[in-house]
Structure 1
Amino acid sequence: MPGSPGLGSAARKLFRIYALLTPDRLTAHYVGQTADALHRRLEDHLRRPGHSKKADWIRAVRESGDAPQIVLLEEFTGYRQQAYERETYWIRRLRAQGHPLKNVP
């Protein structure tokens, strides 16, 4: 029935595609997507960087006395699969522009 909440409508969320930048060069080093507020996502990256090229970059920036910055690239209401597709679009676009992204290909 049109307008009825169903499985599809329940999965629709506000998604944000973002980039992590080095503040002094404004160079993108990571692209991600989240349904959380950007400041929460950045805090999560800083608190628990993990073990990856992105994590190594975050540690290096922090050890230099600085912190990565987060910037919104795109925001939309949709489904998780669309968020993955838009994230992939931004990764390809920024790589084509020469940004040294740490995302796994």
Structure 2
Amino acid sequence: MSDSSTPAARRANPGPNPDPNAAEPFGPWGFAFLGIALMFGAGMFMAAGLGATDEGDDGAELVFYMLGLSVTFLGAMFFLIGVIAQGIRIGMRAVAKDGRARLAQ
């Protein structure tokens, strides 16, 4: 019979993701890289819009340009979210280390 309230039982089964430095499935850098990938995809939409100018179909050109611009905006937002989240994470880690250092004194 094992009691999970004892310290030995908690050490044996610490629960989900006990390591604070474990890899995240989609962390801040994932957002940043997704933003870069979306902006590359937007460039392909814009190139497709340029390719549509030869046929003289202005409607298709406009659709591809608007898709390209909106995906570029979305990519930029994801990139900024990732970079800002990483900055916050680094700042919080520095504050935590500083606090632990002050408590140790």
**TM-score (normalised: structure 2):** 0.26
Using CA pairs below 8 Å that are at least 6 residues apart, which structure has the higher relative contact order?
1
Per residue, is there more strand in 1 or in 2? 1
